[in-house]
Structure 1
């Protein structure tokens, strides 16, 4: 009996001390899906790059494409490419290095996606609306995940050459 009481006390302690519940009250104009997608398990905002990556690979699975093959072919570099030597950054990863653009500071990947979405939509979007712009663009016409990721990868190579120009030529 004491063992059961002790376990109940531990369970109650865990529930009251370590589990947090939140209630989100949405207005008619709020998009529940966008809000849900913008929170992760720690309650922190996901970056536009996180949201785009999740969206694209979810789309890949919806059309029975191999997310693993697409990741290896097109996205791995965004997660693993090392930053250049001498980069002043908290991150050692090229695409996670923060760059200042005007008064805003964002990761290189978020900045790339901002320009990429602006280019693909031929519209001036706000940086904090990159994901919404991407989803809207994606929904217009049929998109092939492999083709679109290949385009993004080519744009990334151009972006990288602007950030780190080859000075040997």
Structure 2
């Protein structure tokens, strides 16, 4: 599985390709040696992430596949429907999935998403508008949401921790 490390404004991204699909993107706190992409899929992933961070890409068009149960896959599919620059609550997500009592299971599946930014789990917030539950740290979630708000011309958002 080819894996590269790519510098982003929120840390070093570890990007893994498996069988022609991007299988994981996560941001690390540790320093890693930056490695150039050596496959077309990894080159495309880096190019699209560059465009995202430059405010020029709102939708990713990558071959993605991550391991997970059918339920997790359905949760991640729902995440892909959240528009750039928008947020929904975990409760709203559970209602959209016709599973209002499954809020904890849905939140847990969000937390198991291995395709950060591309599958936008950072766009799911608490019902009261608070930032909750982001494996990359709440400061990164806040940065990503504020970045998207700036690109959309909304200006600063008021996000609570």
Structure of higher CA gyration radius: 1
The TM-score, its normalising length taken from structure 2, stands at 0.21
Structure with the larger RCO, 1 or 2 (CA within 8 Å, 6+ apart): 2
The TM-score, its normalising length taken from structure 1, stands at 0.21
More helix by share: 1
More strand by share: 2
